[in-house]
Amino acid sequence: MIVELIPKKAEKPVFGQVFFLIVSLAALVGVAVSFFILQQVIGRARLDLDILEKQLMQDTRPQEEKLVAKLSGYKQKVEDFKFVAGERKNFLPFFELLERTTHPDIFFINLERVGDKNIMFLGGETKDFFALEQQRLLWKKEKEFQTVQLKEMLLSGEGNGSFKVEFTLSPELLVP
């Protein structure tokens, strides 16, 4: 018989070791699965990156030239509109002034405006030159006309006459 001098403790169940073994194996499987998933994601990202690099390396000049041409067209349209809007004048005060100051024996045929200046050419016919002189004096009295010059006067065989007059209008008369 063997006598035990040092008493042995009773052995406990091995549950702790099995538990940690199972947890370690689950962690290992999780890391392996995550590794493979990340490898797939990285592979797809590299493919996308390669595709984007190829697109950037391709010649984009034709597309750029189309867009620049389109942009130039729009710029020209804006400039044209800006010019038209800047040149737009209200001629109603001028026509009201003519209506108020026109002699009954004077008839107007055409009207021209010189560029962006306040110079107007007005062509017309008169019954006689006496009526034309009265008309010229009426225009001279109006402050809206800075200068009035009769340019071309022609006399017909019946006593009628045609004329062309140049007006320099005051800037206040034609307002945008």
The 10s digit of each residue's pLDDT in 111-124 is 887 766 778 889 99
**Token couple for 39:** 């490898």
What is the CA angle 163-99-155, rounded to 5? 15
pLDDT band (50, 70, 90) for residue 90:
low
Residue 72, Cβ neighbours under 10 Å: how many?
10
Of the pLDDT bands very low, low, confident and very high (cuts 50, 70, 90), residue 55 is confident
pLDDT of residue 25: 95
pLDDT in tens, 147-170: 888 888 888 777 788 889 998 888
Angle made by CA atoms 8, 10, 15, in degrees to the nearest 5:
135
What is the chain's mean pLDDT, rounded? 83
Confidence of residue 175 (pLDDT cuts 50, 70, 90): low
Report the chain's terminal Cα–Cα distance, integer Å: 130
Instruction: Using pLDDT thresholds of 50, 70 and 90, give the confidence band for residue 28.
Output: very high
pTM over 0.75: no
Q: Which amino acid is at 134?
A: Q
Q: What is the DSSP code (8-state) at residue 33?
A: H
Mean pLDDT (whole number) for 53-67: 83
Q: Which residues pair with 147 in a beta bridge?
A: 168
The mean pLDDT value for 64-83 works out to 86
